[in-house]
Amino acid sequence: MFEWLRSLRKKVGKLVLPDREERSARNKNKINLKPYTPEPKAYLGQLAYLLLSNFEILTNELKYAPTTQYKAELSEAAAKSFEKYRTVSKKLSGLGVDVTDSMDPFTERIDTFHSRTSGVDWYEAIIKVYLVSGLLDDFYKRLAVGLNSELRDSVEKALSDKTFEKFAQKVITEGKAMNPELDSRLALWGRRLMGDVLLEVRAAFDNRKLAGIDKSASLSAEQERKVNLESYSKIEPLISEMIAAHSLRMDSIGLAA
Amino acid sequence: MFEWLRSLRKKVGKLVLPDREERSARNKNKINLKPYTPEPKAYLGQLAYLLLSNFEILTNELKYAPTTQYKAELSEAAAKSFEKYRTVSKKLSGLGVDVTDSMDPFTERIDTFHSRTSGVDWYEAIIKVYLVSGLLDDFYKRLAVGLNSELRDSVEKALSDKTFEKFAQKVITEGKAMNPELDSRLALWGRRLMGDVLLEVRAAFDNRKLAGIDKSASLSAEQERKVNLESYSKIEPLISEMIAAHSLRMDSIGLAA
């Protein structure tokens, strides 16, 4: 008769938090990303396509700009952010590789990411670029640690332009002042975006490499799962820092992270 | 019984060419546009918005670029053409006027023009920007004759960048090689665009000023018509030169003008 209660208890049991032992085992050490930086061609190729697609997404919003002023400012911010792409693509050419060839292996993954995270209106679109390029610029700057110092300096310098960031902060702040109901919708949207970016960041890593397992080894499903857990644990400090930076970005536009 | 034939003859009669006397009265003198150059704020304001909307239209095509290579090249061409806008908007700021205020009186007319002339696919969109900005850059360079020499030089220099022109020629030439049936469609489209640009150019002039009639004078419909004819006759040499340049532009992409 109380069978249903017992079965319910079992289910509830599954949702209990891990015990303190397990939680305190979380990795809090600073991660050294150096061994995980991809080869320069792959690093610059995916960064280049991220920046190129960023330009496409930004400029696609021009037609929705509510005023000529916004249209002009967004154009300026887009043109400035295109200069990031220019820097990266020049570095690729400097390595003697074709820019398009270097981007092509990543276009599908990145296009899919973007189509999964396209906002439904002007505000969601602006905040998307603000948060996503904030997170990804941050990530790629950290990952640049494994490049030679000349490449690293160029990339860090290119990624540090803040024209769009300032524009986005202005748009969102002004928008929220006019439509207070934007607040909760945009806060939700911001959280959702962070989740998607973290998945994208995880996808950029090779789990076996992170876990120190030979890529030709054949693993059982159980071993594979352990490798994944091991590797996620390894990048946990990075994820945690990225989330903290994201929260600051949300704060600066008055949204609860 | 032959009533229908007579009525047909009457209609045909209406289509006969004007006699030689009237045709030879056409104005073949070079037009001096100097008196018709708008005040710097109005000149730069409409040019600025044309260039800004050009950037919007160009970048809106990025999502339709058939290859990553085209996407990167179109982005580069768009960023380059945005520099034209930057130059013009800096000149406006230099005159101590607000850039947005200077553009606002022209946004509606120019947006209407663009919405009337948006192509149905990637090729029509590219050829539109190629031909329309070819015609309009040409027109504004001629009209710059009434500005002071410093402004004129900056405008002429800014408008002379050919990055997009070369890109468009490549896209159309490659496109026609792959789809020979594009030829006749694009030729038709090119002619249609020229017609629309000429209407836009006429709208940029004050007919009464062209005809030397005081703008406060009150005219009958018949007088008004004469003023319009007079003014069109005055800009005829300009129109004729613009058409010739347009034909060369069509030629260079292998289309019959």
Q: Closest approach of chain A CAs to the CA of B161, in angstroms?
A: 16
How many C-beta atoms surround the C-beta of residue A61 within 10 A?
Answer: 22
Say whether pLDDT at B9 is over 50.
Answer: no
Per DSSP, A59 falls in state H
List the one residue out of B123, B239, B133 whose CA is nearest residue B187.
Answer: B123
Number of helices (H), then strands (E), belonging to chain A: the values are 11, 0
Q: Is A231 within 8 Å of A211 (Cβ atoms)?
A: yes
Q: Report the alpha-carbon distance of residue A178 to residue A158 in Å, rounded.
A: 34
Q: Cβ of B85 under 8 Å from any chain A Cβ? A: yes
- Whether the per-residue pLDDT at B30 is higher than 70: the answer is yes
* Nearest alpha carbon to residue B81 among B152, B161, B135: B161
Averaged over B21-46, what is the pLDDT?
74
* pLDDT value for B4: 52
User: From the list A59, A68, A103, which residue is nearest B59 (CB)?
Assistant: A59
A62 inside 8 A of chain B by CB: yes
- Quickly state the pLDDT bin for B154 (edges 50, 70, 90): very high
pLDDT of B208 > 80? The answer is: no
- Please state, in angstroms and rounded to a whole number, the distance separating the CA atoms of residues A253 and A19: 37
Q: How far apart are CA B159 and CA B151, in angstroms?
A: 12
Q: Which of A182-191, B171-180, B207-216, B231-240 has the lowest mean pLDDT?
A: B207-216
Q: Which amino acid is at A254?
A: G
CA B235 to chain centre: 14
Instruction: Enumerate the H helices of A95-220 as residue ranges.
Output: 99-116, 122-143, 149-159, 163-178, 182-203, 207-211
Q: So what's the pLDDT on residue B125?
A: 95
**Angle (nearest 5°) at CA B175 between B170 and B179:** 160
The model's confidence at residue B3, banded by pLDDT at 50, 70 and 90, is low
Task: Report the b/e string of A193-204 with b at 16+ CB within 10 A.
Answer: bbebbbebbeeb
Say if residue B61's pLDDT is above 90. yes
10 Å Cβ neighbour count for A87?
19
Look up residue B64 and give its DSSP letter: G
Per the listing, tokens 């409409």 go with: B46
Non-local (6+) Cβ contacts of B205 within 8 A are B36, B231, B235
pLDDT at residue B16 is higher than 70: no
How far is the C-alpha of A211 from the C-alpha of B90, rounded, in Å? Answer: 54
Architecture per CATH, A33-251: Up-down Bundle (1.20)
Chain A residues within 8 A of B104 when measuring between CB atoms: 68
pLDDT of B213:
78
Q: Name every residue whose Cβ is closer than 8 Å to that of residue B228 and which is 6 or more positions away in sequence.
A: B207, B211
Interface ipTM > 0.95: no
Question: Which of A42, A251, A62 has the alpha carbon at shortest distance from A147?
Answer: A42
How confident is residue A23, by pLDDT bands cut at 50, 70 and 90? very low
In terms of Cβ atoms closer than 10 Å to its own Cβ (0-12, 13-18, 19+), residue B1 is exposed
Where is pLDDT greater, at A212 or A5?
Answer: A212
Backbone angles phi, psi at A204, to 5 degrees: -75, -15
Residue pLDDT, tens place only, A124-169: 999 999 999 999 999 999 889 989 999 999 999 999 999 999 999 9
Q: Which of B63, B69, B99 sits opposite A60 (nearest CB)?
A: B63
A92 in contact with B, Cβ within 8 Å: no
Residue among B101, B79, B99 nearest B89 (CA): B99
Give residue A3's pLDDT.
Answer: 56
Q: Which CATH superfamily is domain B37-251 in?
A: Ferritin, core subunit, four-helix bundle (1.20.1260.10)
SS (H, E, C) B17-62: CCCHHHHHCCCCCCCCCHHHCCCHHHHHHHHHHHHHHHHHHHHHCH
Q: Does the structure show a pLDDT above 50 at A1?
A: no
Instruction: Give the model's pLDDT for residue A24.
Output: 41
Per-residue confidence (pLDDT) for residue A28, from 0 to 100: 62
Taking CA atoms, B142 is separated from A134, A200, B30, B38, B238, in Å, by 45, 52, 12, 12, 9
Residue in B89, B82, B138, B41 with CA at minimum distance from that of residue A75:
B82
Which of the four pLDDT bands, split at 50, 70 and 90, describes residue A214? Answer: confident
Find the closest chain A residue to B80 by CA distance. Answer: A79
Contacts of A63 in chain B (CB under 8 A): 56, 60
How many Cβ pairs closer than 8 A exist between chain A and B? 78
**CA distance linking residue B10 with residue B256, whole number of Å:** 34
What is the per-residue burial (b if ≥16 Cβ within 10 Å, else e) of B41-51? Answer: bebbbbbbbbb
Mutation site for B-interface testing, chosen from A50, A57, A71 by largest number of B Cβ within 10 Å:
A71
Q: What is the predicted pLDDT for the residue at B236?
A: 82
- First-to-last C-alpha distance (Å) of chain B: 44
Read off the pLDDT of each residue in B195-202 and give the average, rounded to a whole number. Answer: 85
A20 band by pLDDT with thresholds 50, 70 and 90: very low
* Residue B53 identity: S
pLDDT tens figures, A46-57: 999 999 999 999
Judging contacts by C-beta atoms under 8 Å, the chain B residues touching residue A100 are 67-69, 72
Note the pLDDT tens digit of each residue in A96-109: 999 999 999 999 99
Q: What is the pLDDT of residue A257?
A: 77
Among residues B171, B13, B151, B8, the alpha carbon closest in space to that of B77 is found at B171
pLDDT at A30 exceeding the cut of 90: no
Contact B219, B96 (CB under 8 A): no
Read off the pLDDT of residues B93-131 as tens digits, 9 standing for 90 and up: 999 999 999 999 999 999 999 999 988 999 999 999 999
Residue A19 is given by DSSP the state P
Rounded to the nearest integer, the mean pLDDT of chain B is: 86
Give the pair of three-digit tokens for residue A201.
């960041």
pLDDT in the model for residue A2? 52
Check residue B12 and give its pLDDT. 45
Average pLDDT for B199-221: 78
- As a whole-number percent, the residues of chain B with pLDDT over 90 amount to 60
pLDDT given at position B27: 63
Give the list of residues 6+ apart from residue B39 with CB closer than 8 angstroms, or none. Answer: none
pLDDT given at position A12: 45
Query: What confidence score (pLDDT) does residue B188 get?
Result: 92
CA distance A56 to chain B (A): 6
d(CA B63, CA A57): 9
Q: How confident is the model at residue A225 (pLDDT cuts 50, 70, 90)?
A: confident
For the record, the structure tokens of B32 come out as 């001096």
